[in-house]
Amino acid sequence: MEILHVAAECFPMAKAGGLGDVVGALPKYQRRLGPIAKVVVPMYRTEFLYQQQWELVHEGSQYLGPQFFHYSVIKEKNNRLGFDLYLIDINGLLDREKIYGYPDDTERFLAFQTAVCDWVNAWQHLPDLIHCHDHHTGLIPFLLQYGFDFKTRLASIPSVFTVHNAQYSGAFGWEQKHLLPACDLSHWALLDWHHQINPLATALKTAWRITTVSPGYLQELRTSAAGLESLFDHEKEKSVGILNGIDTEIWDPAHDPYLLFHYTVQTVASGKQKNKEELCRRFGLDPDRPLICFIGRMVAEKAADLLAASMAACVAQHPGKVSFLVLGSGERDIEQQLDLLAAPLQDAVGIYIGYQEALSHLMYAGADFMLMPSRVEPCGLNQLYSLRFGTIPIVRAVGGLKDTVTDMGEQNGFGIRFEQASVQDIKAAVSRAVSLYYEQPGHLQQFREQVMQIDHSWEHAAKEYIQLYNSIQ
């Protein structure tokens, strides 16, 4: 079986969040189970592009509205990621430093999807299945079936669409329909959602199967999906929730190249302490206090807007007894709130605004607790990395967080859960963490050992995806 994954991100070529981690790992684990899994993403100008060797495998041309464009497909030569990685280069459109955030993102991802279909159409032996991820690839299942240039050969290829995040749909106005490659618009209703062309909705309607990145998220989407609830409900028969795994070879405290001090379950107490001291030294924090970290996009979805007020409230409640460290970037006003807070509370709060892979690894290793107050969390990988590093998650019970973190008050529970995305609930959850740290160090140690042994490796999910593929062959 040969699978082509299509996405906007694939770690380490391009990562803005968890999508990159998943697309960079799942195909590797699928390959180990037999199927040939390949990945294609846009060719951005990232560090990885310049560090690797590439060979040209295809050149073609297509239209984006009236604009004729050439594209080329290059392949990474040395199988660095454990699967074939292809990049689509479209001059001027895709070859930029950032993945998203440009005013012409609609055009960029339309051209990418058109080029992917055009390239696959030129394959001698077609893939057995195309697996698309998130809205940037959501039109592909439609184009395979109704694109005039593609449907003859490609309409019979099964498609799977994975919803990593339904908060973003990629919708654009019908006045831009000329940007679509030539297709049968008598099926316009498949593209439409509330009078717009909506790639996420199109994927839900036209993909052969839909998956979400946790079972809990699939349930929630039927009642809360940024306007797509009725569609998720309508398509429930072809939908399944498959919990993400983590790449335990990359996220491994015993061998992580980003860490100076490695550790295992047996040495977690001393290993964590050394990483914590290193982290606290860098940010001027006291390593003898409990350290609570947050890593993530500074957006309302992650409840990052509550961080500043929550940290101020917690520090006021436990003066000299708790520290926070935040890594992230996103909305300017949230970043500013955090910067403003950090100055007066600098002995208790460290803030790093930006994206830094290395620092994130040190934080998973050095933190005592990882805070995730998300309003929406389709799966969440931070809590899974935290478990692997013996860091206790403090999470709001939502989506994938609810599926993966149990509360230490329950039998065999190991984390701290709370219900509302509110300063009050965060404060109460942090207080539980602070008392555990000072009053029950033995229990804290037991939880660390327990969580490090929980298996969230990809093997299980990779098998579930393959069973799903088999069911539609």
Shortest spacing between CB 130 and ligand GLC, in angstroms:
18
- Secondary structure (DSSP) of 158-203: -EEEEES-TT----EEGGGGGGSPSB-GGGHHHHEETTEE-HHHHH
Q: What are phi and psi of 402, to 5 degrees?
A: -70, -35
Q: How far apart are CA 439 and CA 351, in angstroms?
A: 27
Residue 327 binding partner per list ligand GLC, ligand ADP, none, with a CB distance cut-off of 5 to 8 Å that depends on partner kind: ligand ADP
Q: How far apart are CA 397 and CA 418, in angstroms?
A: 6
- Evaluate whether 23 touches 7 at the Cβ level (below 8 Å): yes
Per CB under 6 A, residues contacting ligand GLC are 17-19, 22, 164-165, 213, 244, 377-381, 400
Question: Would you state the structure tokens that stand for residue 70, as one six-digit string?
Answer: 């050439």
Residue 328 binding partner per list ligand ADP, ligand GLC, none, with a CB distance cut-off of 5 to 8 Å that depends on partner kind: ligand ADP
Q: How far apart are CA 431 and CA 441, in angstroms?
A: 15
Question: Would you state the structure tokens that stand for residue 263, as one six-digit string?
Answer: 């550790």
Q: Which residue is nearest to ligand GLC (CB)?
A: 18
Output 165 or 386, the one with its CB closest to ligand GLC.
165
Output 159 or 360, the one with its CB closest to ligand ADP.
360
Paired with 64 in beta bridges are 67
Shortest spacing between CB 165 and ligand GLC, in angstroms:
4
Per CB under 6 A, residues contacting ligand ADP are 17-19, 21, 295-297, 327-329, 355-357, 360, 379-382
Output 166 or 295, the one with its CB closest to ligand ADP.
295
Reply yes or no: is the peptide bond before residue 12 cis, omega within 30 of 0. Answer: yes
Output 65 or 215, the one with its CB closest to ligand ADP.
215
Shortest spacing between CB 105 and ligand ADP, in angstroms:
17
Q: How far apart are CA 54 and CA 398, in angstroms?
A: 42
- Evaluate whether 153 touches 145 at the Cβ level (below 8 Å): no
Residue 295 binding partner per list ligand ADP, ligand GLC, none, with a CB distance cut-off of 5 to 8 Å that depends on partner kind: ligand ADP
Shortest spacing between CB 326 and ligand GLC, in angstroms:
18
Shortest spacing between CB 385 and ligand GLC, in angstroms:
11
Shortest spacing between CB 69 and ligand GLC, in angstroms:
29
Start-to-end Cα distance in the chain: 9
Residue 293 binding partner per list ligand ADP, ligand GLC, none, with a CB distance cut-off of 5 to 8 Å that depends on partner kind: none
Q: What are phi and psi of 88, to 5 degrees?
A: -105, 125
Q: Which residue is nearest to ligand ADP (CB)?
A: 18
Output 165 or 323, the one with its CB closest to ligand ADP.
165
Shortest spacing between CB 224 and ligand ADP, in angstroms:
16
Output 181 or 378, the one with its CB closest to ligand GLC.
378
Paired with 110 in beta bridges are none
Residue 296 binding partner per list ligand ADP, ligand GLC, none, with a CB distance cut-off of 5 to 8 Å that depends on partner kind: ligand ADP
Output 114 or 165, the one with its CB closest to ligand ADP.
165
Output 366 or 400, the one with its CB closest to ligand GLC.
400
Shortest spacing between CB 327 and ligand GLC, in angstroms:
16
Residue 356 binding partner per list ligand GLC, ligand ADP, none, with a CB distance cut-off of 5 to 8 Å that depends on partner kind: ligand ADP
Spacing of C-alpha 227 from chain mean position: 21
Q: How far apart are CA 87 and CA 12, in angstroms?
A: 13
**Residues near 377 by beta carbon (within 8 Å), at least 6 away in sequence:** 217, 301, 302, 395, 396, 398, 399, 400, 401
